[in-house]
Amino acid sequence: MRKNRKPNILLIGVDSLRADHMSCYGYPHLTTPHMDRFAREGTLFENLYSAHIPTTSAYGSMLTGMDVFSTQVVALRHQGPLRPEVKTLPEILREAGYDTSCVGFSGNASSRGFDTYLDYPGWGSWNEGRSPKAQNLNDKAIPELDRLAKGRKPFFLFLRHMDPHAPYLPPAPYERMFYGGNECDPKNKSMKPVMDFKPFCDFFASWMPPRITDKDYVIAQYDGAVAYMDACIQTIFTALEARGILDETIIAFNADHGETLYDHECWFDHHGIYDPTLHVPLILRYPAKVAPGKRVSGYTQHKDLVPTLLDLADIPTDIPFDGRSLLPMARGEIASHESEFYLTECTWMRKHGWRTPQWKLIVALEPDFHFKPMVELYNLIADPLENNNVADANPDIVALLKGRMDAHINKREQETGLPNPIYHQGDWHGHKGVGAFQSSQQAYDTLHIGDPKAAAKLQAESRK
């Protein structure tokens, strides 16, 4: 490292990547061989949870070190900018003398403060063919990395990957890497409930094969997209190594949220505060301060990332973050941060909840388009897949967890002097003047994505 120069920081943020579909997190398919090696060279955190779903609120926490009470960003379609009182990581680093760039993240509420914004094609459809999202990103990222590496300042480069986000359209040979069957077998009926789900069926039809019948093919496309992205990310690591800056760069690999595939009837999307959506990867590599080959089992959240990166880079700040550095946990000095925590989602449903190591409470704030119960309770020890709602059989546990959740909400409202934003979202669903849904049928009849362009438009609207 050049004398007296701060380390570079590379943050790889992946949209819709569930930890349990990475081979370094125990997935039986070899989806992430390059990230597996990266994890062996660094420290892997086994239990990071995205507490605030979806993208907008998750990145709001990941890039500020704050929770939703501090950011007031809780909905996909968040209106307006991030609160000016909340500093973003690029703003903090720019004040510390960094050159800051992002690829694929312009317009998000928490993207404020970068010196350079670059975008790339990150969607696709069946008619457009296979979608090389990660290579499209590399085509922008590698030249930008060249520019930054030649500069006099340390750099912060944030790469937002979109491959595991629907549409799942990995290029060959990744399309068939994890599937060898007949995706249109008429005897297979597993895709019927998916295609019968009116709010999403037109979107699915726009990028899935015509006459698709087998859910496992679609799941294999997700896995193929993860594997393709993994190979493309290795190109970034190789570029750092070729420029002689790999070991003097702090690298963090994280995801905004996971993905529901065939889980909980939340077909091939990322809504519902079930663990497939909440449990995401975090891997850190920086040989000067991060032990290689270590796995940390303590509980962590997105709000811990910014304090951790500043701690690794020796950048002092007087900001009272809601999160805490993970380095003491990585060194074995403490076992965990909060083992129970508050959850929110405001994408296609408006709900909040409370998760402990044993229990998950989910409380709907209005009826949802899946016709789910207003209160759900899952025993995560006996039922880790959250398939058996035991709320009716355990009213005492529901009351206990709701009491803890309400106490946390009251505490955070008092500490911040701000309301819980999940309670005040108006037309969170994007339908002006509708307000909160009065029934599940109304929600089902109102919400709809017609095609990838409509989905991309929703993402764009969420950044205004």
How long is the chain?
464
E-state strands within 286-419: 294-301, 341-346, 350-355, 359-364, 375-379
Q: Which residues does 295 contact at the CB level (< 8 Å), separation at least 6? A: 43, 44, 45, 46
User: pTM for the complete prediction?
Assistant: 0.94
* pLDDT for 80 beyond 70: yes
* pLDDT for 455 beyond 80: no
* Order of strands across the sheet that contains 43-49: 116-118, 99-103, 155-161, 8-14, 249-255, 279-285, 43-49, 294-301
Distance CA 401, CA 388 (A): 17
User: Could you tell me which CATH class the domain 8-339 is placed in?
Assistant: alpha beta
Residue 323 has what DSSP assignment? S
Q: Which residues does 151 contact at the CB level (< 8 Å), separation at least 6? A: 99
Average pLDDT, the chain: 94
Residue 243 has what DSSP assignment? T
Residues 129-141 pLDDT 10s: 889 999 999 999 9
- Say if residue 210 is exposed, middle or buried (CB neighbours under 10 Å; 0-12, 13-18, 19+): exposed
Query: Distance between terminal CA atoms of the chain?
Result: 39
Residues 139-191 pLDDT 10s: 999 999 999 999 999 999 999 999 999 999 999 999 999 999 999 999 999 99
E-state strands within 365-413: 375-379
CATH architecture of the domain with residue range 343-445: 2-Layer Sandwich (3.30)
Distance CA 261, CA 322 (A): 31
Average pLDDT over residues 408-434: 94
């304090």: which residue's tokens? 307
Q: Which residues does 60 contact at the CB level (< 8 Å), separation at least 6? A: 52, 66, 68, 71, 73, 78, 82, 109, 110
Residues 201-255 pLDDT 10s: 999 998 999 999 999 999 999 999 999 999 999 999 999 999 999 999 999 999 9
Residue 435, token pair as written in the block: 């307000």
- Say if residue 451 is exposed, middle or buried (CB neighbours under 10 Å; 0-12, 13-18, 19+): middle
- The CA angle 33-34-40, to the nearest 5 degrees, is 90
For the chain, domain boundaries: 8-339, 343-445
């295609």: which residue's tokens? 195
Q: Percent of the chain having pLDDT more than 70? A: 96
* pLDDT for 106 beyond 50: yes
- Say if residue 41 is exposed, middle or buried (CB neighbours under 10 Å; 0-12, 13-18, 19+): middle
